[in-house]
Amino acid sequence: MRYEAVIFDLGNTLVAYYTREQWPAIWRQAIDNVATALDSLGMLRTARDDLPARVRKENHEREDHRVVPMAERLARIFKLMPDDLVGGREEQLCRRFLAPVFKAARLYDDSLPTLAKLRGMGVKTGILSNLPWGSPAELWREELVRHGLLEAVDAFAFCVEAGFRKPAPQPFELIMSRLEETPDQCLFVGDDPRWDIAGPKQIGMDAILIDRTGSQKGCAAPSVRSLSEALHLLEDIWPLRG
């Protein structure tokens, strides 16, 4: 069959950010950034030595996949009150947290060419991504702009907009509504079997695993090492439109 839309995960699919092994170092720098910002405002009410333990209590996701917003996590870690987050402070602290994440980012060489080729084939494209710690969608929209991805796709959606994280169906339903397509008309491409394969499959959407390092074993879905390889599979099915 011919898919009408191909939907991509963002992190480690279109853009390299960090691995699971790198995440502890990332969040330590992120938390230090927030602590420094609060200290400069005279609002640091938590001893720095206590922060690692407080962070560990927040460094998990809910079993029902509901999004836990970053601002709520930071408020609990740093003992912030609602009035502490007014006047742009919530966004400022979230930006400080995300700074080391964005600094580590590297757009894969095959991302923009693949999106452009699909557009040339008459196929819609979208981006659907979970966000670390339920961070604000607008900051990640800026990240799409920074990498030239926003203008390269037809629609995007983030978990915080749906209120649930992948593999819950709500994020997939949101991006499909923006693309005006149904599950059987879409293909999902992502790097994590837990979210990017299990999620699509439970709603009847086909999926491909991108495993750039060749380290994923036993995935119940076709696997490719690059987006270029995935594109070759699709080109075998769909001749380019003249």
pTM of the model: 0.94
The pLDDT of residue 19: 85
Q: How far apart are the C-alpha atoms of 166 and 13, rounded to whole Å?
A: 15
Neighbours of 147 (CB within 10 A): 17
Which residue in 73, 146, 78 sits closest to 112, CA to CA? 146
H-helix or E-strand spanning residue 32: helix 23-40
Reduce the DSSP state of residue 220 to 3 states and report it. coil
Give the tens place of pLDDT for each residue, 147-200.
Answer: 999 999 999 999 999 999 999 999 999 999 999 999 999 999 999 999 999 999
H-helix or E-strand spanning residue 62: none
| Fold that domain 5-17+105-237 belongs to in CATH | Rossmann fold (3.40.50)
State which residues of the chain have pLDDT below 70.
1, 236-242
Which residue in 61, 89, 59, 62 sits closest to 76, CA to CA? 59
167 preceded by a cis bond (ω within 30 of 0): yes
Q: How far apart are the C-alpha atoms of 242 and 197, rounded to whole Å?
A: 33
Reduce the DSSP state of residue 5 to 3 states and report it. strand
Residue 26 backbone zone (phi > 0: left; psi -120 to 50: alpha; other: beta): alpha
